[in-house]
Structure 1
Amino acid sequence: MSIKTFLLPDLGEGLTEAELVRWMIAEGDSVIVDQPIAEVETAKSLVEIPCPFEGVVSTLHGDAGQMMLVDEPFISVNTGGVEPEAAAPAAEGALSYREEEMAGTQVPEEAEEDEASGNVLIGYGTGASKPSTSRRRRPRAGSTTAAASSETSTQAVRVINPLVRKLARENSIDIHAVRGTGPEGLVLRADVEALISQGQPDAAAAVPAAPAAAPAPAAAPAPQKPSEGAAAGADKRTGLPVASSQVLSGVRKTIAAAMSTSRREIPEATVWVDVDVTKLLKLRGKIKESEGQAPSIMALISRFAVAGLQRFPELNSRIDVEDDGSLRHTIFDGVNLGFAAQTDRGLVVPNVRDAHKLNANELSAEFARLAGVAREGKAGVSDLSGSTFTINNYGVFNVDGSAAIINYPEAAILGLGRIVEKPWVVNGKIKVRSICELTLSFDHRVCDGGTAAGFLRYVADAMTDPKKALSTL
């Protein structure tokens, strides 16, 4: 019998964890190579995981709803044949992706002789060689061993993501003073952001010191009268019944983090203008009548926006914070056009790669294709990342306008409101025209209001006289 263990693979874009949505097989089932075995939800999308082995499922290393870490056991399969003498989850002499990120603990030589020692997992000490069937229960050195070696070893703070360390460093937070809320005290980005939002409380408040001796038993609290405490199932702050309460995860967690980061780091400003799109609607109608189909209104406006970015490239850019605190402004030669798409899993931003190379019909087709795979939860990481400018059509929700939050780390987002008929002055006379509100939220660090207004005016003028604009593209 030969048992092979498949580790959760690197899902791209530096993602280190994924939530197990469901298993598509069970222990004892037969599987073949490339057979889908599970669905996991990353911070970017819903992903099907294929099996790399053929055989019988021996162990499923996780349950639905559990967070699974990259480079840790995902599934074990009995492939038959003779078991290798030195089976190991990773190649000898090479650190896994997660082990590299956890590097930092100094392991004393004495620990190598511990009878429970197995493969050294950097950042965790050593553990028993027996494989564990629990995702979150990595064996660690016992308290006796830890006490004996406390003067010769130092346990690194439990942080798996280098971006978390960088975030703490940039905000003058001692990472050792952060109380981790992840499994086994793992420090998450949210933990650091919580300290930042609270004004960076000191270490004593963040990490309580271990007492030198066991504290005396506390006196039992006096029983409260019914009026003094919150009712069962009620919120303590408001006293209202709680309809639901859950920790954000998956895409919803990613959206929350991205919006918070955008608001915290980008000094944004917004400009807007009402646009007469009567001629644009008529032009699209003529195209559809003559050709049987026509690009969407959003595709036509996106074509104008891409052309506008070539004239005002500062808005097609990004600002990054360097390690020394300086700001780097990067302007792109080409446009990856993101667009907001509402799905059952939340708001996602697919992006059309090299949008500057596509005409309106091609943009319309890509919008439809990417929106479809996003709503089905089948968009890949590359489909949902890498955009340089975003357009948001909130008119589909029947609203006129919105000061949209910039899709971090981009520099601007263009918003389209609904198209409604309004009285409009044309050549001194009041006429009924189709009007759309156009808004632009932009990073004030990359440009001033004149540049933003120039871009918005260019797009608005093209929407007002689309035939003339398309002839010059």
Structure 2
Amino acid sequence: MNKPKVFLLPDLGEGLTEAELVSWLVAVGDEIRVDQPIAEVETAKSMVEVPSPYAGTVAVLHGEPGQTLDVGKPLISVTPVGAAPGAALPASAGRAVDSPDTVVDSPAAVAAEVYREEEKAGSGNVLIGYGTPGGHGVARRSRAPRRGAVQVPAAEKAADDLVLMRTRVPGKLGAVISPLVRRMARDHGVDLGELQGSGASGLIMRRDVEAAIKPSVVERPEAPAGTEAPAPAGGTDARTGLGIAGRTPVRGVRKAVAANMARSRSEIPEATVWVDVDATALLEMRAALKRSDPHNTPGLLAFIARFVTAGLKKYPELNTRIVTTEDAAGGASKEIVAFDGVNLGFAAQTDRGLMVPSVRNADKLSARELDAEIRRLTAVVREGKATPAELGSGTFTLNNYGVFGVDGSAAIINHPEVGILGVGRIIDKPWVVHGELAVRKVTELTLTFDHRVCDGGTAGGFLRYVADAIENPGSVLADL
């Protein structure tokens, strides 16, 4: 009799440990095919449709819309095509040991068997950070149980092993960790890519993460007497005496943004420089291009992005990243990693919060090509369909906060980058031109940079380069 196949929530990329189930795209009893989308889930990075690696009848949906599911936990159970009706897996899945001679599969054993079958065959479907190897895995053999042996603990261990194998750290196959360990690391701002696991084959254990966390964080003292307890929704706030209108859980994108911004502020010794810029010439140049080609004229942000990528080539210190490495003696040291190319991130406001997609190899694109890619990525993130790679691969960020009607902002660096350039609104201001007072189109550029990678001279040089390019766009573009 064919057993139901239990599909576990895969790692959807960037080492994410959980996802919120937004909606089911199938129902119990539906016939589904391989690679058919079965659920829509929201991670801290994007909205993703999860396809099924199995064909058959939907037996169980393991979760309700709005529920947060851990990577490696059951998502859906599918009865294979041609299976007997009795093969359907009940919602309270799980069978016990009937006798010393009979070992019946638990959900953990079913899940482990599913993984073994995927290792041998593979569905051919691949998501970011998830995919079956299509025959490259090693099949495991199961020995017949000894008479009188209780096999449930072994099945549970197999499920634990499965969870570990489903939650690899991208780029570090040996550093396999459980969702609980990964969540602990994320909550405390520990970079798992910088840890050396103490377990077998470099396995990162809970003790490794705890050792990287400050004792004051790991050993949380009890709240002192008089600490305010959270009031229930609809109740009264103890501190202000005001009624509570509602509570909004910090999760998904907002949770990821909050953690990243807090980490940036705590780790990066940042400094900010700014300058007012006369953008009249750039606006006039774009207006002339629009008159000659009204349907193929890049936006102002695309021109500024072109100037930024050129400036980063001239001042490459701002297109770097600081990483921690381990020397031969086991000590930790930091190094500055420079990149051969620029992935330019740009801030985009969406209904799900502030997103920062990045234009890959932006230094190789023209202003028109940058404009097209910026528009494409903006549409993708607003639809919630951006991939983790599109949202997590930037090397420098451009932030146009002028669209909100503000002149300047000391922006927070998008960790682990080392710089962010902000552009304020363009407004009419009195400006001295050739000794005469005139009304010009003026904007403010603000550069926040990591003082560990460069000093004010480099930051000021980069900022002045971009400002000069905006004030004299024709001459600069001629040299690009």
Query: For the superposition of Structure 1 and Structure 2, which TM-score range results when normalised by the shorter chain?
Result: 0.7 to 0.9
Question: How many angstroms does 1:296 deviate by?
Answer: 0.6
Matches within 5 A, 1:377-456: 377-456=384-463
Query: How many angstroms apart in 2 are the aligned matches of 1:466 and 1:81?
Result: 68
Contact kept? 1:230, 1:239, Cα under 8 Å: no
State which drifts further: 47-56 or 453-462: 47-56
Contact kept? 1:168, 1:192, Cα under 8 Å: no
After superposition, give the CA deviation of every residue in 1:377-402 in whole Å (9 maximum; x if it has no partner).
11111111110000000011111111
Secondary structure of the structure 1 residue equivalent to 2:54: coil
Query: Residue 205 in 1 paired to residue 205 in 2?
Result: no
Query: How many angstroms apart in 2 are the aligned matches of 1:165 and 1:113?
Result: 41
Contact kept? 1:167, 1:192, Cα under 8 Å: no
Paired residue type of 2:257: I
Paired residue type of 1:454: G
Paired residue type of 2:300: I
Secondary structure of the structure 2 residue equivalent to 1:280: helix
Identify the match of residue 238 of structure 2 among 231, 236, 239.
236
Query: Residue 304 in 1 paired to residue 307 in 2?
Result: yes
Query: Residue 121 in 1 paired to residue 157 in 2?
Result: yes
Query: Residue 326 in 1 paired to residue 333 in 2?
Result: yes
Question: How many angstroms does 1:53 deviate by?
Answer: 2.1
Q: Which residue of structure 1 lines up, in the alignment, with residue 199 of structure 2?
A: none
Name the CA shift for 1:54/1:278 in 2 (closer, same or farther; >3 Å): same
Q: Structure 2 unaligned runs (5+)?
A: 88-104, 120-128, 131-147, 163-177, 193-205, 224-229
Identify the match of residue 364 of structure 1 among 360, 371, 378.
371
Query: Residue 71 in 1 paired to residue 72 in 2?
Result: yes
Contact kept? 2:71, 2:179, Cα under 8 Å: no
Secondary structure of the structure 2 residue equivalent to 1:121: helix
Secondary structure of the structure 2 residue equivalent to 1:281: helix
Number of residues of Structure 1 aligned to a counterpart in Structure 2: 390
Q: Which residue of structure 2 lines up, in the alignment, with residue 132 of structure 1?
A: none
Question: How many angstroms does 1:355 deviate by?
Answer: 0.2
Query: How many angstroms apart in 1 are the aligned matches of 2:304 and 2:182?
Result: 43
Query: How many angstroms apart in 2 are the aligned matches of 1:120 and 1:354?
Result: 46
Paired residue type of 1:119: A
Secondary structure of the structure 1 residue equivalent to 2:153: coil
When the two chains are superposed, the root-mean-square deviation of aligned CA atoms in Å is 3.5
Q: Structure 1-normalised TM-score? A: 0.75
Query: Residue 347 in 1 paired to residue 354 in 2?
Result: yes
Query: Residue 47 in 1 paired to residue 54 in 2?
Result: no
Query: How many angstroms apart in 1 are the aligned matches of 2:368 and 2:161?
Result: 58
Q: Which residue of structure 1 lines up, in the alignment, with residue 32 of structure 2?
A: 31
Paired residue type of 1:444: H
Q: Which residue of structure 1 lines up, in the alignment, with residue 252 of structure 2?
A: 250
Contact kept? 1:316, 1:389, Cα under 8 Å: yes
How many percent of aligned residue pairs carry the same amino acid? 52
Query: How many angstroms apart in 2 are the aligned matches of 1:451 and 1:204?
Result: 42
Matches within 5 A, 1:164-183: none
Query: How many angstroms apart in 2 are the aligned matches of 1:417 and 1:244?
Result: 34
Question: How many angstroms does 1:168 deviate by?
Answer: 6.3
Paired residue type of 1:90: Y
Paired residue type of 1:37: I
Query: How many angstroms apart in 1 are the aligned matches of 2:117 and 2:78?
Result: 21
Secondary structure of the structure 1 residue equivalent to 2:14: coil
Contact kept? 1:7, 1:89, Cα under 8 Å: no
Q: Which residue of structure 1 lines up, in the alignment, with residue 316 of structure 2?
A: 313
After superposition, give the CA deviation of every residue in 1:317-348 in whole Å (9 maximum; x if it has no partner).
01123353421111111000000001111111
Q: Structure 1 unaligned runs (5+)?
A: 99-111, 127-155, 171-185, 208-228
Q: Structure 2-normalised TM-score? A: 0.74
Query: Residue 460 in 1 paired to residue 462 in 2?
Result: no
Question: How many angstroms does 1:166 deviate by?
Answer: 9.1
